[in-house]
Amino acid sequence: MSKDVNPVRLEIFHNRFRSIAEEMGVALKRTAFSPNIKERQDFSCGIFAAGGELVAQAAHIPVHLGSMPLSVASAVEATSFAPGDMVLLNDPFAGGTHLPDMTVVAPVFAENNEGPCFFVANRAHHADVGGNSPGSMSLAETIFQEGLVLPPVKIWKKGRIQEDLLGVILKNVRTPSEREGDFEAQFMANLTGIRRLKELIAEQTMEEVSYYSQALRDYSERLLRVAISRIPPGTYSFHDFLDDDGLGSGDILIDLKLTIEGEEALLDFSGSADQVQGSINAVRAITLSAVLYCFRCLLPQDIPTNDGLLRPLRVKTRPGSILDASHPAAVAGGNVETSQRIVDVVLGALSRAIPERIPAASQGTMNNLTVGGFDPRREEPFTYYETLGGGMGASREDDGEGGVHSHMTNTLNTPIEALETSYPLLVREYSFRRGSGGRGARKGGEGLVRELELLADARGSILSERRRLSPYGLQGGENGRPGKNLCKKDGNWEELPGKFNCELKKGNILRVETPGGGGYGTPED
């Protein structure tokens, strides 16, 4: 650390920046309309430097936060910002991830500064953004079937909402009043961040705030470089597969060659499969986000998470591949499913280098469940979207946790009371899936069972993984059990594939059994 950086003030600024991002999240959660945002907390907030670099984040969702700097950079490149402006975007090929994730970016201007000195941004998963199925998370062959695509465009100009643009968006979704309420919550979250940053600048001076925002990023970079330097040098290979794309392609390869050279890591994914017809293609931002998450896990919890952590990492992808998809590929599942498998592969490669520090595979899926139709009780359309937890992988130190969200997702569940109040659905079972964790000296965590009865006709979709290929165990531990999707119609249970769209009738029952985590160490130990 350079002599002119005061370590006490560095920690103070770390907590000040982070607390602003956390307060943005509180404002978003408390004012949102949809259960997916206000209950499950499927959103993320961050503070960014004038060039779009991540300065600080709240403890929200890794797949959002690692990719959001590209959204901010895209907005900066496409827009000339003035005070009171906000930019909205969701285009995966212009800094987004998948279409339901709407990102709102706002500049922060300080006195005597011609341009923005910081940006604040938040990303929230909207339960519907149009497309061929309710929830906008169904099987699709191109991005145009997945919903409304928004390049960076001003939704606020000089402090005023652009009602014409908002009106176009609301005309293209199934639940316009809920979407409007969630957008308002996102705007208020950014206004909260702007106000708090201006207060910090007024208190500490622009020069001081800018200086320590840079110092924090340099600090995180140095810490990760030290952590990488402690990994034995060499090249470590690992590969795994996605089950399928839902449209005929199976055993889709994700291949990694991880090279540790001194204080830097090169991750070469260029041997991975070509992009596929189905919607599990990931844009490069998702791959970067998953890599950042894995290496962040090598550091203590209280280390600042920011742009500095990416500097020692070089990530090589091949355009047109499953991990660097080209337009107009369908990408809804890349954000939620392929991101999880990237983590499995990166951690698998690290387990070859530092086996004592890396856990077995967790469930490896987000189990995306969507149901949408017309609610006769409220006499209006509805869209229910949820991701379901499962088993975490065991480690050398402990058994895996059961029934939790892991790795690239950090959401909560939808409470049964909120779910049944908001939607024409009845929760028949919500329990641990006993025996689903892999055996070992340390046992993998248990998956979940979520069983829903429909109280109205609807259309359902599931995007899920680890239905054929199990989460791996390590060091002799057994694999976790793969998941199952089932539907009960006319009194008979039918097993469904990992990815499907289907028409559902009142009285039908959907049952999702999520995967267990892998075990660690031989069971005899």
Write out the DSSP string of 202-264.
HHH-HHHHHHHHHHHHHHHHHHHHHHHHTSPPEEEEEEEEEEE-SSS-EEEEEEEEEEEETTE
Out of 63-72, 302-311, 434-443, least confident range: 63-72
pLDDT of amino acid 208: 95
pLDDT at 58 over 90: no
Which stretch of 191-195, 260-264, 337-341, 521-525 has the lowest confidence by average pLDDT? 521-525
pLDDT at 313: 97
Domain ranges of the chain: 7-220, 359-525
Determine the average pLDDT of the residues in 126-132: 95
Q: What is the pTM of this model?
A: 0.95
Residue 498 has pLDDT above 60, yes or no: yes
* CA 27-32-35 angle, 5° bins: 125
Which DSSP string corresponds to 17-54? HHHHHHHHHHHHHHH--SHHHHTT--EEEEEEETTS-E
Residue 140 has pLDDT above 80, yes or no: yes
Predicted pLDDT at 3: 54
Shortest CA distance to 201 belongs to which of 112, 110, 120? 110
Given pLDDT bands bounded at 50, 70 and 90, which one contains residue 301?
Answer: confident
Q: What is the pLDDT of residue 1?
A: 43
Per-residue pLDDT averaged across 412-425, rounded? 94
| % of the chain at pLDDT higher than 70 | 99
Answer yes or no: is pLDDT of 302 > 90. no
Q: Which helix (H) or strand (E) holds 178?
A: helix 176-204
Question: Distances in Å between the alpha carbon of 478 and those of 237, 341, 361, 365?
Answer: 21, 18, 10, 18
- What mean pLDDT comes out for the span 206-219? 96
pLDDT of residue 468: 97
Q: What is the DSSP string of 349-411?
A: HHHHH-TTT-PPP------EEEEEEEETTTTEEEEEEE---BPPPP-SSSPPPSSB--TT---
In this model, does residue 151 exceed pLDDT 50? yes
Residue 2 has pLDDT above 60, yes or no: no
Q: What is the mean predicted confidence (pLDDT) over 492-514?
A: 96
pLDDT given for residue 205 in this prediction: 94
Residue 520 pLDDT greater than 50, yes or no: yes
pLDDT of amino acid 59: 73
Residue 316: predicted pLDDT: 98
The set of residues, in sequence order, having a beta carbon less than 8 Å from that of 344 and lying 6+ positions away, is 240, 361, 362, 364, 471, 472
d(CA 254, CA 236): 14
| Mean pLDDT, residues 503-513 taken together | 97
17-28 pLDDT tens trace: 999 999 999 999
pLDDT > 90 fraction of the chain, expressed in percent and rounded: 91
Alpha carbon 287 to its chain's center: 11
- Identity at 137, one-letter amino acid code: M
Whether 350 shows a pLDDT value over 60: the answer reads: yes
Measured CA to CA in angstroms, residue 504 lies from 202, 317, 498 at distances of: 57, 40, 17
What pLDDT sits at residue 524?
A: 85
Instruction: Point out which residues pair with 448 in neighbouring strands.
Output: 432
- Asked whether the beta carbons of 427 and 420 are under 8 A apart, the reply is yes
Region 290-302 average pLDDT: 92
pLDDT value at residue 282: 97
How far apart, in whole angstroms, are the C-alpha atoms of residue 450 and residue 173? Answer: 27
Asked if pLDDT for residue 112 goes beyond 80, the answer is no
Report the SS3 class of residue 14.
Answer: helix
Reference 516, options 419, 426, 448; nearest CA is: 448
Q: Comparing C-alpha atoms, which of 369, 290, 275 is closest to residue 331?
A: 275
